[in-house]
Amino acid sequence: MQKIKSLMARQGLKSPQESMADLSPVENLRIPSKEELRELRELPIDPQAEQEIIDSIEEIYFSSDSFDMVQHELEKLPPELNLQELEEYRDTLKKQQDAVSKKVADLILEKQPAYVKELERVTALQTNLQLAAVICTNARRQLRVSKEGFTEASLGLLANQRRRQLLTGLLKSLRTIKTLQRTDVRLSEMLEEEDYPGAIQLCLECQKAASTFKHYSCIRYSNNRWILWFNWVQWEKVLDLHLQLHEEIYDGNTIFLGFVCLE
């Protein structure tokens, strides 16, 4: 069998497995026709005689891939040529070639079902690979679209969260401003009730809160009024006036605590 393979290599022939490995793409593969194989197999030769002819081939033919058969045969020619001997030797070489060709044809026919089956498997594999490539392409496209959509959605969520935080802070500020705006009423009530310490303390708290929100124009206006209320001289006048109006009956603790707050 090694001789057959080496001789096939010398003549440019390949086994079905080698042929299938070399041919690409699949469309370029060619299966020998049944007629060609049948002609080779129908050569009239006895199997035993065929093997003997193959065994008679010189070992040097299988020695190296670079072996030059033509040069080798030319070097074997005698100085004086004999036509009859040349014709007999030619017939011998022709029989060897026919025997090798028939053996190759037998091997091809023997392996042809497996060759065809493998070719079908390769064709199916190629189809599956093409389908997989289409699926991967579509998956990448959908992934890119999903990624873009996810990015937009994430940016939208971040923007909404920031807007929510701003609105929450604004709502808190508005509630504080609303409370400050109602302080005038409460301050007037506390003065009528002669709760001077409480009124002074309320003014201090309002002034502290107003300084925090002084960037609002409404607070800036109200803040001036509360600063005026918290003016030390004005509060002293208020307490002195209370003492003048209520010289006989007055709450000493209230007046005292009022002056303490002013200090």
- DSSP tag of 31: P
Q: What does the pLDDT read at residue 253?
A: 57
DSSP 32: P
Residue appearing with tokens 């496209």: 141
- pLDDT recorded at residue 29: 39
pLDDT given at position 212: 80
pLDDT of residue 74: 84
Output the tens digit of pLDDT for each of the chain's 263 residues: 444 445 445 545 444 444 434 444 334 434 556 565 555 555 555 777 878 888 888 888 777 778 788 888 888 888 887 888 888 888 888 888 888 888 888 888 888 888 889 999 999 999 999 999 999 999 999 888 888 878 878 888 888 889 999 999 888 888 887 877 777 777 778 777 777 777 777 777 777 777 787 777 777 666 555 544 555 556 666 666 666 555 544 555 555 555 555 55
Instruction: Provide the token pair at 87.
Output: 């014709």
Per-residue exposure over 187-207, b if at least 16 CB sit within 10 Å of its own CB, e if not: beebeeeebbbbbbebbeebe
Dihedral (C-alpha) 54, 55, 60, 62: value to the nearest 10 degrees?
Answer: 60
Token representation of residue 225: 């009024």
Tokens 């389908």 map to which residue? 131
What is residue 206's predicted lDDT score, i.e. its pLDDT?
77
Q: Which pLDDT value is given to residue 28?
A: 42
Of 19, 25, 28, 31, nearest to 129 by C-alpha is: 25
Q: Cα–Cα distances in Å, from 135 out to 43, 121, 126, 129, 181?
A: 53, 21, 14, 10, 67
pLDDT at 244: 59
Model pTM?
0.34
